[in-house]
Chains A and B, each alone.
Chain A
């Protein structure tokens, strides 16, 4: 045949002759380079012939494949490759048709070597940027075939690996080719994605076992991963679902959720390569998938939730606005569904719930702090409450849900770093939390206390204060002076918190853990808010607790002993924290007395005490209120409110917002004005001015304290008089008196302050006194108040 061709070659068209000439007589000799150069030159100089050349090459190759002369096929392919690279982009589209036909032809053959060769050529083609769109090209065969190659099960493991690798490379080529050009096939169609994605995952999974270490490029799973990353990295918002869906289906079909090692691996790849602004759609998709699996075994659901928790943190950084709450809401509703499923007795279901809570915590962990508070409030708002009258108990399901939600809350809380208490506990969060601290279920109360612990503690003292103790020195507590906003916070909300804790201790269903946890809360409060201002309040609570232990008829004897132990521990702690030596000595004395007579009144707490012990206690072992107040007075603290007696009792609910009882220092009985007064005290410039910058000595604190008190009085009186004055005085007077006299103002004010602070202030000033005092004020003050307003 060749001889025949040779003799009549002169009659054949030139391009055919040139093509024929590149083939050697013997296929082993390989491509004849000189002639190939001639062919290349020819096709470059007359590009219009390129399509004929391509076609002829393809025909020759098809014939060679048919006759199984693979050597020539390889040569033909090589020639095509060279032409492809050499030709200019504009003329290429004429050639591509035959080139792709050639590749397809090779792929259709059963010889793996030809398939691999074809893939290599195809990849080379895929890397060329075409500038004429080739929308007539169809890639569906390539997608199908390359996907099939990824699943190759050739008997020879080396060939199998090679074919699979070729399959991935081919897929990558198709993806590259189609993505760079809008006019060709839409690769994101499910028809294609459903083939591409599972194939990639399959290869990734099959070879994921630690094989012999091979170099990066030739390792199928490595390559599959790279390809996956590339694919996902290019996905736009609308296409993400097209990718995720096959992934989820693949994981379902291959039962790869349990164990979920591979699922996590896959989703990590997805999360890290996806355009970050879309990452929450992946979370969403996974969440929906969890919905779809609501009927599946808890194990699968746990694994999905676990996967969720592993990837959610990656998404958290990018999620903003409503998507955050949406995710949280969805997690919470999953929790609720899980609770209502009522199989909570099963261990798996519990694991599932834990996985969900973990996911929640992980998510919260990666959000900025202000969002954490939002989330905590959001969770809190989802907690079903029993109504304020606690007689109507909530259903069993609700109790479970409550405790689950509180657990989630705790999880989020542990991720939160408190800086200022008032930002951590906005009233809308604090109130429900305090309400929950009085829940009927002892476990629940424990949870609430734990939430308090984690939110209050800023110096990692939790572990040291887990149990009551009288040896404070050994604990090595980290104590820092309370900041101003914190003091304001505790002044505002302290009474509520203390009252809630008091009432919580009153409950007869308390266990030792409950008492201990409340102790920890109180101790943490004492440490975090260590200032003379606040300890008075705390001491009052401590004394009330002792009262409770002595007088209550509801709680058991052992609980009473627990309370006594708590009381003495707190007393020691407070005196230690505030460094009041006298009080420390006294506490030490009581501890000694107890150690001698009744060691059961000292920590550790026990749930059961010797039955012989009675509730009768000698005064020596009790904390004496008068002694305590003496001690306080000794260091110059205003001990008056201690003597007001117990402000906390079970029926003092209405006192919750009253400043008169709890704060004690008020001279005004008007409840409504309490808040006002506090605000003015907090914002009063004179107070801030007098706050020493660095030297927080005992004396300075004391001074501030007393001055504060006076300030309140002054201001309150001012206000009263001002209103009085404006009501009664004639207009002329008003005009004349509101003439600004600023320079006078300052001196006058300081004068007033001086006179007032000299005045012996006694603690218990009642309403009556206050009203009496008003008319007796000298009118000289009145003059300045309008200026104060202007000021």
Chain B
């Protein structure tokens, strides 16, 4: 019944309060929890999606943004297939921290990891980071870029679907190559 062809681990990182948990909730449960408390340590959700008629299971690890949980959250980077780095478009400091996060990713994650930069909360009126700034940053660091709103459910589905598709393509390529090699 629950036969999936691919299993991908996706980890969300980013400063506290940028809306990581809300993104995950929106995607897996289709709801936007108002007044969501701070995540403690790591939370875990699962969702199976269908890409090109193939079932893909996404294990989504939602990490705490708070500094004090850094040691536990870092340990989750390594096994990730995709890392979603989230910032808040209405909050400059969360954007300023991105280089730090990248450094951490460099240190702890595998180098083949798929990295996606996400500017969340585009429903907010008080935007501080223009879209092109985020785009530039993503481009400079070889990341995919997307702006989302967990509240309005904008681009959330797309974000995860694209990740699933991309990861599938990558792993199918690898599969294909290895078959070629075997040939």
Seen from chain A, the residues whose Cβ lies within 8 Å of a Cβ on chain B are 59, 62-63, 65-66, 105, 108, 110, 140-141, 144-145, 147-148, 150-153, 190-191, 194-195, 198-199, 202, 246, 249-250, 252-255
Closest chain B CB from A142 CB (angstroms)? 12
Complex partner residue of A147 from B38, B42, B59, B74, CB under 8 angstroms: B42
By beta carbon, the residue of chain B nearest A141 is B59
Complex partner residue of A253 from B1, B37, B67, CB under 8 angstroms: B67
Closest chain B CB from A540 CB (angstroms)? 69
Question: What string of 1s and 0s marks CB contacts (under 8 Å) between B28-58 and chain A?
Answer: 0100000001111111111000000000000
A148 touches B61 (CB 8 A): yes
If A62-B2, A246-B71, A255-B68 touch, whether A202 touches B41 (CB-CB below 8 Å) is: yes
Is B70's beta carbon under 8 Å from chain A?
Answer: yes
Enumerate the 3 nearest inter-chain pairs by beta-carbon distance, A residue then B residue, closest first. A151-B41, A194-B75, A62-B2
Total cross-chain contacts (CB, 8 A)? 78
| Residues of the A chain whose Cβ atoms lie less than 8 Å from the Cβ of B42 | 144, 147-148, 151
In the assembled complex, 8 residue pairs joining A and B whose CB atoms fall closer than 8 Å, in A order, are A59-B2, A62-B1, A63-B1, A144-B61, A147-B41, A152-B40, A195-B75, A202-B41
| Residues of the A chain whose Cβ atoms lie less than 8 Å from the Cβ of B41 | 147-148, 150-151, 198-199, 202
By beta carbon, the residue of chain A nearest B67 is A253
Cα separation A119 to B43 with both chains bound (whole Å): 17
Is B97's beta carbon under 8 Å from chain A?
Answer: no
| Residues of the A chain whose Cβ atoms lie less than 8 Å from the Cβ of B74 | 194
Is B137's beta carbon under 8 Å from chain A?
Answer: no
| Residues of the B chain whose Cβ atoms lie less than 8 Å from the Cβ of A63 | 1-2
A194 touches B2 (CB 8 A): no
Question: What string of 1s and 0s marks CB contacts (under 8 Å) between B53-87 and chain A?
Answer: 00000010100100111111011101100000000
**Secondary structure type dominating chain A contacts:** helix
By beta carbon, the residue of chain A nearest B57 is A108
Complex partner residue of A191 from B39, B67, B70, B79, CB under 8 angstroms: B79
A254 touches B79 (CB 8 A): no
B45 touches A110 (CB 8 A): yes
**What 6 new A-B contacts, CB under 8 Å, besides A151-B43, A151-B64, A253-B70?**
A59-B2, A62-B1, A108-B46, A147-B72, A199-B72, A250-B71
| Residues of the A chain whose Cβ atoms lie less than 8 Å from the Cβ of B46 | 108
| Residues of the A chain whose Cβ atoms lie less than 8 Å from the Cβ of B44 | 108, 144-145, 148
| Residues of the B chain whose Cβ atoms lie less than 8 Å from the Cβ of A198 | 41, 71-72, 75
Cα separation A268 to B29 with both chains bound (whole Å): 44
Cα separation A282 to B38 with both chains bound (whole Å): 34
| Residues of the B chain whose Cβ atoms lie less than 8 Å from the Cβ of A147 | 41-42, 72, 75
| Residues of the B chain whose Cβ atoms lie less than 8 Å from the Cβ of A152 | 40
By beta carbon, the residue of chain A nearest B79 is A140
A194 touches B1 (CB 8 A): no
Cα separation A246 to B79 with both chains bound (whole Å): 18
Cα separation A190 to B72 with both chains bound (whole Å): 11
Closest chain B CB from A58 CB (angstroms)? 9
B70 touches A153 (CB 8 A): no
If A59-B1, A148-B61, A191-B78 touch, whether A153 touches B72 (CB-CB below 8 Å) is: no
Complex partner residue of A151 from B2, B37, B40, CB under 8 angstroms: B40
A105 touches B61 (CB 8 A): no
| Residues of the B chain whose Cβ atoms lie less than 8 Å from the Cβ of A199 | 41, 72
If A66-B2, A110-B45 touch, whether A194 touches B72 (CB-CB below 8 Å) is: yes
